[in-house]
Structure 1
Amino acid sequence: MFAAEYEPALESTDRRRSPRAPVSLDAKIGRGGLDRTLCRVVDLSEHGARLQTYSALKAGTRIWLTLPGVGQVIANVVWADDFLAGCQFEKPLKRDVFDGFLVKN
């Protein structure tokens, strides 16, 4: 029989680079006027968003997300599970733009 002592690794409570906030925003996925589909942004940070979609997305997909009052932002789908997906923006939202969403909700 073997015996060993170990020290558990400390787990980070949050891997995000910036805080996220719950929101409820109608948005669209698609480039220009092509292949646009509706979605809802259910939480948002300067670096990304969690989306509730009406059609399944795939991890690793690059999307164009149209946010109200901002326009199109390019995002990469990091994870997807049925009709929920997490995406990371290629360019973070400006702090004042992000703060504007918090005031509205």
Structure 2
Amino acid sequence: MVDTQQERYAAAAQEDRSAVRNRISIPATLRPSGSKSLQTAVRDLSLSGFSATAMSQIAPRTLCWLTLPGREEALQAKVVWWDNGLVGCAFERLLEPDELDAVITRWASDRRGAR
């Protein structure tokens, strides 16, 4: 039985590891705890996390904040892995499906307008 909020999140996040990951390339800002913000490109995005470019190594379990275009509020996440210039992070709070759809839709419409 899942009792605490942390256990519920862990169970949901594990289920979402197999969720659809939207392969994209969205310019964003990533700020690891204790470091300066860096420009990045989000490579995939799901309800539970994202992967993005990060040329400098970021240690697993590092808290970070991702700011996406069109969102005022940064998304808090924790680094799960870093490998050869890519970082994978899990959101501290799962995105709602409509939040994810809004980001994907906004980015797709921004790209269409830029053509």
Same fold (TM over 0.5): yes
Give the TM interval when normalised to the shorter protein: 0.7 to 0.9
What pairs up with 1:78-97 in 2 under 5 angstroms? 78-97=80-99
Which whole-Å CA distance do the structure 2 matches of 1:19 and 1:26 have between them? Answer: 20
Which whole-Å CA distance do the structure 1 matches of 2:103 and 2:16 have between them? Answer: 22
Note if contact 1:57-1:83 (Cα within 8 Å) is conserved in structure 2: no
SS in 2 for 1:49: strand
Bigger fraction of residues in strand: 1
What pairs up with 1:1-105 in 2 under 5 angstroms? 16-30=17-31, 35-70=36-71, 71-103=73-105, 104-105=107-108
**CA displacement at 1:29 relative to structure 2:** 1.4
Larger Rg: 1
Residues 1-59 of structure 1, C-alpha deviation per residue, up to 9 Å, x if partnerless? Answer: xxxxxxxxxxxxx971522110111111127xx71111110000011001112322111
SS in 2 for 1:35: coil
Bigger fraction of residues in helix: 2
Mark the runs of 5 or more structure 2 residues left unpaired by the alignment: 1-14, 109-115
Runs of 4 or more above 6 Å deviation: none
How well do the aligned residues superpose, as a CA RMSD in angstroms?
2.1
Q: Alignment identity in percent?
A: 33
TM (norm. structure 2) is 0.68
Count how many residue pairs are aligned between Structure 1 and Structure 2.
Answer: 90
**CA displacement at 1:95 relative to structure 2:** 1.0
Note if contact 1:30-1:64 (Cα within 8 Å) is conserved in structure 2: yes
TM (norm. structure 1) is 0.74
